[in-house]
Structure 1
Amino acid sequence: MKNIVIIGGSKGIGNAILLQQLETNCVYNISRNPPEISHPNLKHYSMDVLQDTLPEIESIDTLIYCPGSINLKPITNLSIDDFRNDFEINVIGAVKCIQQYLPQLKKGNHPSVLLFSTVAAKLGMPFHVSIATAKAGVEGLVKSLGAELASSVRINAIAPTITETSLSANILRNDRMKENMVERHPMKGYLKANEVAEMADFLISEKAKSISGQIFEMDYGIVTFKI
């Protein structure tokens, strides 16, 4: 049984990962709101990771940082604070958590860190300038920290395309928009949170013990293929 710390496990992809891991691992969830579930293997801390002092957790094998943002506007409609807020949510929060829990991770069982990027960091999509900039920072963190910690802790990231969660509800708010999103992807689909949770399960497992410093695109072909 692993000790897994999930930042942002009450909703969306983070919640899908939390539900997947609960039966076989001890899960510590840190988020502003508690998950809508109770379980003997779950301990929840209600807090804002950017503002509050992170809890002391004695033993950690895996750290998963899930918070993200979808702030889609033309650059002329974005303030400097918009850029700053997206960077703080996606990068500074991850750095704060890694710095806090790195000593425990280094003592863990096959320790690993998992972060999240986006296909927009590579694809070049209109109105994604703020989030793509922040997620590019996440990818740089994965590459650099992967090298720095190569002998002790693995770190990887998943870069999903649009995923059906509460965060993307406005983008997928009706059947027509969902159909358009399916058609935009060469493989004629888009992600569900449980699909991303399956990839996360692999990357934090011993099956991925040779993998670090990598960004895994789950893109339904939108980055990979031009058809």
Structure 2
Amino acid sequence: MKKNYVIIGGTSGIGLAVVKLLSQHNHHLFVGSRNERNINDVKQATFFHCNVVDNTFEFPKNIDTIDGLMYCPGSLSLMPFKRIKENIIMNEFKINVFGLLDSINFFLPFLQKNKEKSSIVLLSSVAVSLGMKYHTLVGATKGAVEGITRSLAAEFAPKIRVNAVAPSITKTALSKKFLSSEKMKNDLENRHPLNRIGYPEDIAHAATYLLSDKSDWITGQIIHVDGGLSSMSQH
């Protein structure tokens, strides 16, 4: 069945991979971002301008209901604790937490109007479950995302399912500086039991499953897609 999905931050990285994967199943996709790049060739995609930092959503007026929402904007600010200042903390929370809550708040009526069950998918990080040096901001903001996931899953059940995907390092624009040399890339690959880093499509497959009816009995879960990093010792 053709469904309506909203993908916030769907013009790059993991979000774009989700858009392309969902388009293969002829779903109607509403892609929210600050610019329309990369989705012009996706026939099922309708772009709408949104800016999660200032809570702006120019969503089409003729759409009453949606079947699923995914929030993809994020940041990857790694730094020693002594460099973390209040303005940096606020910027990280604006993107990763406040923008997420504003997005859910805006689209919740569209999900609730759906006669069928609907789904929300969020993005966490492997850094929440592992103690990783310089990941204080990632752990703090994505830890909040995991708490939100479980709390809203309980509150919105049984009508709306809420889950999150927790990746390890994934080859996107955000992680480019950490993969800038072959040595850095090899070192990161060797940390993972599956001996490679993630790709946007790896995360997209898990996310689209959680958006779909195939995951109808899954809610409140954090699905780790991290090459085994969070559950197996390094070898």
Establish whether TM, by shorter chain, passes 0.5: yes
Map of 1:187 onto structure 2: 194
Out of 53, 70, 77, the residue aligned to residue 56 of structure 2 is: 53
The answer on whether the counterparts of 2:76 and 2:175 sit within 8 Å (CA) in structure 1 is yes
Match in the other structure for 1:3? 4
- Structure 1: stretches of 5+ with no match in the other structure: none
Q: Using the aligned pairs only, state the percent identity.
A: 37
Deviation at 1:52, TM superposition (A): 4.3
In 2: Cα distance, 1:53 partner to 1:189 partner: 37
- The one-letter code of the counterpart of 2:48 is Y
Distance between the aligned counterparts of 1:90 and 1:111, measured in 2? 22
Please report the TM-score for the alignment, with normalisation by the length of structure 1: 0.96
Q: Which amino acid aligns with 1:73?
A: M
Q: How does 1:1-227 map to 2 (within 5 A)?
A: 1-23=2-24, 24-38=26-40, 39-56=42-59, 57-108=63-114, 109-227=116-234
1:158-213 CA distances to partner (integer Å, 9 max, x unpaired)?
A: 00000001110000112111111111112211111011111111111111000000
**How far apart are residue 46 of structure 1 and its match?**
2.5
> Residue type of the partner of 1:135?
K
TM (norm. structure 2) is: 0.93
More moved, 22-31 vs 66-75: 22-31
What CA distance in whole angstroms lies between the structure 1 residues aligned with 2:194 and 2:127? Answer: 17
- Displaced runs of 4 or more, over 6 A: none
Q: 1: CA distance between counterparts of 2:68 and 2:55?
A: 21
Deviates more, 1:32-41 or 1:57-66: 32-41
